[in-house]
Amino acid sequence: MLIWIAGLLRRRAARLLATAAGIATAVALLGTVGAFLGGAQASMTRRAVAPVDVDWQVHLDAGADPAAALAATRAEAGVTTALPVRYAGTPALSNRTGGTVSTTGTAVVLGLPPGYRDTFPRQVRVLAGSGDGAVLAQQTAANLHAVPGTMLTVERPGLPAAEVTVTGIVDLPHADTLLATSGGATAPPDNVLLLPDAGFARLFDPLQATRPDLVSGQLHVRTARKLPADPQRAYTAATGAARHLDATLAGAGHTVDNLGAALGAARSDAAYATVLFLFLATPGVVVAGLLTATVVAVAGPRRQREQALLRTRGATVRQVLTIAAAEAVVSGLAGAALGAGAAAALGTAVFGASGGPVWYLASGAAGLFIAAGAVLLPAWRALRTGSVTDARARGQVPAGRLPLALRLGLDVLALACAALILRVTTAHGYQVVLAPEGAPRISVDYWAFAGPALLWLGGALLAWRLVAAALRRGRAVLTALVRPVAGPLSGTVAATLHRRRHPIATATTLIACAVAFAVSTSVFTATYRQQAEVDARLTNGADVTVAAAPGSAPGGLTAVIGATPGVRHVETMQHRYAYVGADLQDLYAVRPGTVTAGAHLADAWFTGGSAAGLMHRLDLQPDGVLVSAETVLDFQLQPGDRLTLRVTDPRTGAQVPVAFHFLGVVNEFPTAPTDSFLVANQDYVTAQAGAAADTHLVDTTGSDPAAVAAALRARVGTAAAITDITAGRALVGSSLTGVDLAGLTRIELGFALALAVAAAGLVLAVDLTERRRTFTILGVLRARPRHLAGFIAAEAAVVTVPALLLGAALGAGLAQILVATLSGVFDPPPDSPAVAWAYLAGVVAAIAGAVTVTVTVLVLRTRRPDLTLVRSE
């Protein structure tokens, strides 16, 4: 055996290296994507919890002892800090400036303990003045025209009004959690005053004695966050700890788990990362394995003759299998080592971390499995099914019958099943990953993988059938096609292609699969990048979004924004709140005539019509309203139904009933939440319920959004909240979209390109090299060099051109299935898949280059015939 292996290393080193290269590609792809999966999950957990400032908010129940609840909370395992925060409601805040009195509606007053801002630094951001003392939220300061130094009057029901001096203006980035109450859904408070704990006690302890319903308390808790790296396990640990605290408090309070809520979204992203691993990595590994098996199979006739020679010289079947196993182990270990090294280097370079020993061992085992399947299994089958004489002759004339799978029609059956599964799995809002709200675990429908897998199988078999049929029945056509390059050898070339139709069909199918992998991966990743940008735009609303303070002049801010350099268009939108029955929802009042282009609305965001069509109907019917799908389902709405909403009129503070008619369904809208909201005509809403604070969606196409946002802040000051799409990208990127997917995209596209080039170049090189004897005999028979070159080039073209066409068709179908099946990855779903034309052009150019180099090298080698090849057979 050692003598045999030494002989292989000396005489068949190229064969071993080709086998090892295919195995290394599969191992490297599997190990690198494994590094992505492990690193992405840990990164998702870190990114999910990073923005959370207050892990738990413990709402103290009426009659609870705050001191006892605080002590019990601080004694809980894992709690590092717990601080009491007090809340009070006041009918109004007012400010007298000269002869003018500015008064707000109801306001919320918070009492913050010493050290609160240091413990929870993201809760309060100082915009002007000092953060110590009495500070006003930005919108409240704009309502009262207050600045640091302003004397405010705080109304107290049943008690004399109190006065405080404003020391600063602040922004509350996490107002939704900071101001959350234990009651039902209410609109976020517009007016907020923050006081030191001592000042709060001076103003509101007397009020609590007479009106305890107006004063409440919370405990804001920070934990040690010693969580598992996997978001699912981290979610389970965080929510379990929060429930344990609820049990400890025994009715004294209940916990709002902000940390668990953040991890709840991350666990869905982690499940999608696993799904992406399976969808994107598995085909590449299979293609690499098939490439290895094809390279080995090309030399199959030579290997079988070598094994027959061993048997004629007395070698037993066991000894021959042992030699084949040794070859498989040598090539497998070499490929596994090379692949693991490449995976470690790529993982560190692209993701900043390697996949760990578990992934390297798993990918190495996969490499050995591929080696065994490519080398050992064919040897075992040959020894088991034929005699020595058969083995010596096998491979000289290909079998005329189709493979069993094609005789059974497995290609047609697989494609039909793939179409059926796709129809079932993508109907009625299907999601491959389901994470029900509040559910402890998520579920992944692994049956969804059957559709793409069957399409791969059926498409590959169908490609093989089509190529073999064309070579079997189109000999005359082949002769005519290759005559320009093969000259007088055109008949010989066509006869050779006809005779070798099965190996050529195999080579063509393999290259087509590699091309399909490149096409499907590039289309999916291009669509993902496109939709990630759309998601960021939806989250922020536009390139730059300016939320004006209530009471601003209706057109003043719009004019200032429009005159700012870099602003291309300004779209005005009113963000209101309305009650649908007892359900409070966001209401967006828009200008139907301009919002479609101004806010870049997409057709996929609407159901029952295009964006432009539905907005045109809203323009023609001012009392129309577009309703989110969840609201339509909850209230069983039908087109044309009358819908009465209660909208707060800012002029009086009273809720005004406004009649609408249901026109259609809106699934996504700029700045809107993901569940329940409404879209209406701005002029109609203003006429019925007065004007409200405007949101300005700023289009900066051709200019840097961050620079335009900075210019607007300089012009507008603190009178409006200004955000740019960069912040939206960061928010979207905190989940799956931006964790490591950019790196995964580079890895997948790089391997897809490498596999396509290797399939085209390596398979052709090995195939044509194994047939150098044919070319040598033609040279001895005085065939001209240009005719030999035409012979080689014609066969290369017959293999490559159909492979490109069939691979493109199969890849397009796979891309459609990937986008449809993984629709949950896209938020919102795309109107149509995006095509990475530049990358695909590069793939075609690289394949053409690999084929050209291969053909050129072989042509040069045929110029000097090696007569030993004639004698060796």
Rounded to the nearest 10°, the torsion over CA 362, 365, 367, 369 is: -130
155, with CB counted inside 10 A (0-12, 13-18, 19+), is middle
In angstroms, the CA 705 to CA 707 distance is 5
660 pLDDT band (50/70/90 cuts)? very high
In angstroms, the CA 811 to CA 809 distance is 5
Query: What count of Cα atoms within 13 Å lies in the side-chain half-sphere of residue 587?
Result: 28
Mean pLDDT value across the chain: 80
Residues 6+ apart with CB under 8 A from 687: none
Query: What count of Cα atoms within 13 Å lies in the side-chain half-sphere of residue 731?
Result: 15
Predicted local distance difference test score (pLDDT) of residue 465: 92
Location of structure tokens 């080995």: 296
In angstroms, the CA 96 to CA 150 distance is 9
In angstroms, the CA 627 to CA 594 distance is 20
> Is residue 76 over pLDDT 60?
yes
The mean pLDDT of 607-628, rounded to a whole number, is 90
Q: What tokens were used for 678?
A: 């409404």
Q: What are phi and psi of 254, to 5 degrees?
A: -135, 150
pLDDT per position as a tens digit, 130-149:
878 899 888 788 778 888 88
The mean pLDDT of 786-807, rounded to a whole number, is 83
Predicted local distance difference test score (pLDDT) of residue 807: 92
> Is residue 546 over pLDDT 50?
yes
Predicted local distance difference test score (pLDDT) of residue 662: 92
**Per-position DSSP letters for 761-796, written without gaps between them:** HHHHHHHHHHTHHHHHHHHHTT--HHHHHHHHHHHH
Query: What count of Cα atoms within 13 Å lies in the side-chain half-sphere of residue 498?
Result: 15
Predicted local distance difference test score (pLDDT) of residue 214: 87
The mean pLDDT of 597-624, rounded to a whole number, is 88
The mean pLDDT of 92-120, rounded to a whole number, is 84
> Is residue 734 over pLDDT 50?
no
Nearest C-alpha neighbor of 343 from the set 40, 43, 27: 27
Residue 828, preceding peptide bond in cis (omega within 30° of 0): yes
Nearest C-alpha neighbor of 146 from the set 204, 186, 107, 174: 107
First vs last C-alpha separation in the chain: 24
Q: What are phi and psi of 17, to 5 degrees?
A: -65, -40
Task: Look up residue 830 and give its DSSP letter.
Answer: P
The mean pLDDT of 422-437, rounded to a whole number, is 63
pLDDT per position as a tens digit, 823-866:
766 766 777 788 889 989 988 998 888 888 888 877 777 666 55
Question: Looking at this protein, which amino acid is placed at residue 735?
Answer: S
> Is residue 388 over pLDDT 60?
no
Predicted local distance difference test score (pLDDT) of residue 446: 67
Beta strand 192-196 with 107-112 is parallel
> Is residue 533 over pLDDT 60?
yes
Nearest C-alpha neighbor of 358 from the set 31, 71, 604: 31
Strands (E), 581-719: 583-590, 606-607, 624-628, 642-648, 655-666, 677-681, 694-699
In angstroms, the CA 467 to CA 510 distance is 12
Tell me if residue 114 falls in helix, strand or coil: coil
Predicted local distance difference test score (pLDDT) of residue 526: 86
How many CB atoms are closer than 10 A to CB 212?
11
pLDDT per position as a tens digit, 320-371:
788 778 878 888 888 888 888 888 887 777 766 665 677 778 888 888 888 8
**Cβ pair 53, 122 in contact under 8 A:** yes
Rounded to the nearest 10°, the torsion over CA 515, 521, 524, 530 is: -100
How many CB atoms are closer than 10 A to CB 846?
17
Predicted local distance difference test score (pLDDT) of residue 462: 94
Tell me if residue 382 falls in helix, strand or coil: helix
Predicted local distance difference test score (pLDDT) of residue 399: 47
The mean pLDDT of 176-199, rounded to a whole number, is 73
pLDDT per position as a tens digit, 495-523:
877 887 888 888 888 889 889 988 988 88
pLDDT per position as a tens digit, 222-277:
999 888 888 888 888 998 999 898 888 887 888 888 888 888 877 777 777 777 77
Location of structure tokens 């010989």: 492
In angstroms, the CA 572 to CA 560 distance is 13
